Amino acid sequence: MFAGPAAILFCAVVIVPFIYGLYLTLTNWDGISNHKPFVGLSNYRQAFADTAYWQAMGRTVIYSVISVILVNVVAFLLAYLVTSGIKGQNFFRAAFFIPNLIGGIVLGYVWKFVFNRAFVAIGEAVTSHTTSSLLSTPNGAMFCLILVSVWQYAGYMMLIYVAGFMSVDQSLKEAAEIDGCSKAQAMVKVTIPLMRSSFVQCIFLSTTRCFMVYDLNLSLTKGEPFNSSVMAAMHVYNKAFVYKNYGVGQSEALLLFVVCAVIGLLQVYFGKKGEVDA
Amino acid sequence: MSAATKQMQAGAIQGEEPRRPKTGMGTRIGHGLVWLVLIVLLFAFLAPFLLVVINVFKTKADITSKPLALIGRHGFTLQNFPEAMEKMDFWTVLGNSLFVTICATILTVLLSAMAAYVIVRNPTWKAGAILFTLMVASMVIPFQVIMVPLVSVYGGMLHVLNSRITLILMHVGFSVSLATFMFHGAIKTNIPMELEEAAEIDGCGKWRTFWRIVFPLLKPTVATVTIIEAMAFWNDYLLPSLVLGRKELYTIPIATQVFYGTYSTDIGLVMAALLLAMLPILVLYVFLQRYVVEGVTSGAVKG
């Protein structure tokens, strides 16, 4: 009885749709009629042949890899700075977290204004002739997406790294320094290995978030210019709800799930393997 | 000596790092540098928000011609706010967001704490173990896999979309897995069995034992789950956009998106709408920032 309500809601919105979704991939449903013609594996065949989908997937991988690396580098440096014992470090921690309070939709529009107006105004002031927005070229749009993601997630991952820094016993680092380690050596050889779990967590958290990016993609670039910035999640959404191709859309979503499941399993594997004890 | 260095010295004198034996001149200069770097970074971090704040008080013509100027040629104006508020139906939208977020968060916390409690205390109970395994496994399912069947079942077959209650229950259903997982860990490691046994001997039933003894002890986890889930519900766009089709039910993210689609050329109004969309949570953050930072940090350690 205690677990009942949670179990019912969980099954109703996660388990049942998931299983029903598996069935939908085998049908050729148009989204309206009650009739769902059974078509076997043809949706999967179409999904594998859908070049736009694989392009979006490849783009998402590139975007995620670059973003994850930059997010974690920036977050780690920020965490290092705000744990160095300076005055007001709690204020800085709280302030760098602010972008995470606001949803991707609103942030995307804020940055759209920054890229389209402020950056253009700066560009024109510096070069003294008309400049076009970064968002109007494919590479520029990708750059913008990465920049905003790094800006947003760095504050969140920073907090995880801060927790990691604080969990490392100061005396170990001091002992290393007394034994003749330089500060940098102590960092690389003592502190960072002891923070392994923070790294695993941050890298996987930022990977899944980047891989599933949708809100920011929708508000910042809307897939433009010329569909060159459509990420995997947006492609799946459009396939199903815009082009009403539910069967193929659902099959492509399921392929996305496979990728996520692999990432999840890797996290468990790396999380358990080689945990360092102090 | 600059104000910044003075503050730094004050920090060093107050002894934020008492353990370090040599708080010499070198450390103080180092701290000053760190402080300077952080101030510059912070300014860069918050610049997008500052730009919105600057431009919200300008007329459309001034924003277009000089987006970086502090005050436009036509001077200071408050005109953008009332118009944007009326056009995005701000108070209704804010009310919807508050209602959905508060209800969904309370339900998630209560239901998942209860579920975690029985699962932890009855390790031989098969159904509980299966449920917990399913919940943990389901955390890797991306929402994109669920969305089409979800709309098909609840919209096409049961016709229960376009309701805030449906949205709240769906939010809860999606978030109970993570919340149950976090409560599971907390109950397993932090709640001693002896307390409950004592309560039982004193004649306390299961229901009362849970609410009177166990739940109050879970306060730190309740705070963490509340903060993480409330932020997720408040900012969620995709699920509400699929469930809520009628204008009077919109939450802040949907209203912002629709507003931008309609008035994107009226940049003054857009600025006001964006600021209005951000303001409630920023104001709340000023008061709750300590709990948010702690909640996210401890959530990270557990999750």
* Tens of pLDDT, residues A18-38: 888 888 788 777 666 667 777
In 3D space, the residue among B106, B138, B120, B124 whose CA is nearest the CA of residue B184 turns out to be: B120
Taking only the tens of pLDDT, chain B with its 303 residues reads 344 444 433 333 333 444 444 455 566 777 788 888 888 888 888 888 888 888 888 777 777 777 777 777 777 777 777 877 778 888 888 898 999 999 999 999 999 888 888 888 887 888 888 888 888 888 888 888 888 888 888 877 777 778 888 889 889 988 888 888 888 888 888 778 878 778 778 877 778 788 877 888 888 888 888 888 888 898 889 888 888 888 888 888 888 888 888 887 788 888 888 888 888 888 888 888 888 888 887 766 544
Residues of chain A with Cβ-Cβ distance to B58 below 8 Å are: none
Question: Which pLDDT value is given to residue B2?
Answer: 42
Query: In the numeric block, which tokens belong to residue A275?
Result: 């945990």
Chain B: residue nearest A234 by CA?
B144
CA distances from B17 to A44, A163, B33 (A): 60, 17, 17
Distance, CA of A66 to CA of B146 (rounded, Å): 28
For chains A and B, CB pairs below 8 A equal 264
Decide if A277 is inside a domain.
no
| Torsion of Cα atoms, A242 then A248 then A251 then A257, to 10° | -30
- Distance from the Cα of B272 to chain A's closest Cα (Å) equals 11
In this prediction, the residues of chain A whose per-residue pLDDT falls under 50 are 277-278
Interface touch A98/B149, C-beta < 8 Å: no
Decide if A126 is inside a domain.
yes
Question: Which pLDDT value is given to residue A122?
Answer: 79
What range does the domain containing A256 cover?
Answer: 50-272
* A133 plus A33 within the same structural domain: no
Specify whether the CB–CB gap between B153 and A41 falls below 8 A: no
Interface touch B169/A9, C-beta < 8 Å: yes
Question: Which pLDDT value is given to residue B12?
Answer: 38
Chain A: residue nearest B142 by CA?
A257
- Distance from the Cα of A126 to chain B's closest Cα (Å) equals 13
Question: Which pLDDT value is given to residue B4?
Answer: 43
Which residue's structure tokens are 């949803």?
A103
Into which CATH architecture does domain B84-302 fall?
A: Orthogonal Bundle (1.10)
* A110 plus A64 within the same structural domain: yes
Interface touch B293/A237, C-beta < 8 Å: no
Distance, CA of A26 to CA of B234 (rounded, Å): 35
Rounded to the nearest integer, the mean pLDDT of chain B is 79
Question: Which pLDDT value is given to residue A274?
Answer: 56
Facing residue for B300 by CB, picked from A85, A159, A219: A159
Distance, CA of B160 to CA of B175 (rounded, Å): 20
* A237 plus A198 within the same structural domain: yes
* A253 plus A123 within the same structural domain: yes
Question: Which pLDDT value is given to residue B19?
Answer: 46
* A97 plus A169 within the same structural domain: yes
Facing residue for A10 by CB, picked from B173, B271, B292: B173
Distance, CA of A135 to CA of A117 (rounded, Å): 11
In chain B, domain spans:
1-45, 84-302
Query: In the numeric block, which tokens belong to residue B97?
Result: 């967001």
* A82 plus A111 within the same structural domain: yes
Facing residue for A240 by CB, picked from B67, B148, B257: B148
Decide if A181 is inside a domain.
yes
Chain A: residue nearest B28 by CA?
A86
A122 in B contact zone (CB under 8 Å) = yes
Distance, CA of B227 to CA of A143 (rounded, Å): 31
The distance of Cα A221 from the centroid of its chain, to the nearest Å, equals 16
Query: In the numeric block, which tokens belong to residue B225?
Result: 């789950």
User: Which of A:150-189 have CB within 8 Å of B?
Assistant: 151, 155-156, 159-160, 162-163, 167, 170
Number of domains in chain A: 2
Decide if A226 is inside a domain.
yes
For residue A225, say if its preceding peptide bond is cis, omega within 30 degrees of 0.
Answer: yes
* A55 plus A29 within the same structural domain: no
Interface ipTM: 0.81
Residues of chain B with Cβ-Cβ distance to A121 below 8 Å are: 66-68
Residues of chain A with Cβ-Cβ distance to B34 below 8 Å are: 81, 84, 86
Decide if A233 is inside a domain.
yes
Interface touch B267/A117, C-beta < 8 Å: yes
Residues of chain A with Cβ-Cβ distance to B118 below 8 Å are: 2-3
Question: Which pLDDT value is given to residue A69?
Answer: 92
Decide if A278 is inside a domain.
no
Q: What is the pLDDT of residues A158-182, one digit of tens each?
A: 988 888 888 877 778 778 878 877 7
Question: Which pLDDT value is given to residue A53?
Answer: 86
Question: Which pLDDT value is given to residue B178?
Answer: 86
Question: Which pLDDT value is given to residue B301?
Answer: 52
Interface touch A85/B16, C-beta < 8 Å: yes
Distance, CA of A11 to CA of B74 (rounded, Å): 58
* A65 plus A189 within the same structural domain: yes
* A25 plus A55 within the same structural domain: no
CA distances from A116 to A111, A177, B57 (A): 8, 50, 19
* A97 plus A218 within the same structural domain: yes
Interface touch A117/B281, C-beta < 8 Å: no
Which residue's structure tokens are 């815009």?
A242
pTM of the model: 0.82
User: Which of A:34-73 have CB within 8 Å of B?
Assistant: none
Specify whether the CB–CB gap between A250 and A21 falls below 8 A: yes
* A149 plus A218 within the same structural domain: yes
Query: Percent of chain B, pLDDT > 70?
Result: 89
Q: Check which CATH number belongs to the domain holding A106 and give it.
A: 1.10.3720.10
Rg (alpha carbons) of chain A, rounded to whole number: 23
A243 in B contact zone (CB under 8 Å) = no
Q: Is A175 helix (H, G, I), strand (E, B) or coil?
A: helix
